[in-house]
């Protein structure tokens, strides 16, 4: 931890944030800022609450980004995503909140998020957002989440 003294969550017991606004997304320096590469996080058990009924909603999130100077610290990302468990919002709002907050904190070359939401009312709602066109020569694998068929 001495190498990263500014980290306040990694290696420590911390209370989970109660809301996404309270969550602190921490970063570490990218040791290879000149190299073009993709980082992927998958959260197959993401949960939030429906904005109308307060019933739980479930999604498989896939976050891809091409870093510049910063990498997201994974424990802080997990705590941030977990803070949505008691957050009431539509699928679209949750997905965009996550993608836009990460883009603001990381200032990556490129970022995209795929929110593959499980059915509510018989229909899955998949939400996709990205910061722009991906950089040329970036290896961009498929997000690997099939169309809904009982995922």
Give the active site residue among 21, 35, 50, 88.
50
Task: Quick: pLDDT tens for 108-122.
Answer: 999 999 999 999 888
Spatial distance between the Cα atoms of 53 and 72, rounded to a whole number of angstroms: 33
Concerning whether 57 is annotated as a catalytic residue, the answer is: yes
Mean pLDDT over 80-98 rounds to 97
Picking from 62, 57, 20, the residue whose alpha carbon sits closest to that of residue 44 is 62
- Find residue 41's DSSP bridge partners: 63
| Separation of CA 5 from chain center | 24
* Domains detected in the chain: 27-130 (3.30.1130.10)
Assess whether pLDDT exceeds 60 at residue 59.
Answer: yes
Concerning whether 50 is annotated as a catalytic residue, the answer is: yes
Mean pLDDT over 77-88 rounds to 97
Task: Quick: pLDDT tens for 120-133.
Answer: 888 899 999 999 99
């Amino acid at each position: 931890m001495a190498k990263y003294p500014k980290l306040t969550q990694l290696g420590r017991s911390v209370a989970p944030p109660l809301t996404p606004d309270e969550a602190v997304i921490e970063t570490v320096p990218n040791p290879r800022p000149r190299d073009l590469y993709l980082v992927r996080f998958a959260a197959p058990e993401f949960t939030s609450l429906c904005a109308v009924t307060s019933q739980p909603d479930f999604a498989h999130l896939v976050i891809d980004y091409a870093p510049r100077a910063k990498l997201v610290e994974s424990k802080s990302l997990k705590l941030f995503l977990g803070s949505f468990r008691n957050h009431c919002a539509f699928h679209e709002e949750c997905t965009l909140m996550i993608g836009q907050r990460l883009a603001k904190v990381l200032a990556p070359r490129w970022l995209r998020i795929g929110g593959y939401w499980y059915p509510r009312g018989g229909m899955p709602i998949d939400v996709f957002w990205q910061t722009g066109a991906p950089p040329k020569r970036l290896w961009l694998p498929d997000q690997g989440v099939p169309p809904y068929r009982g995922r």
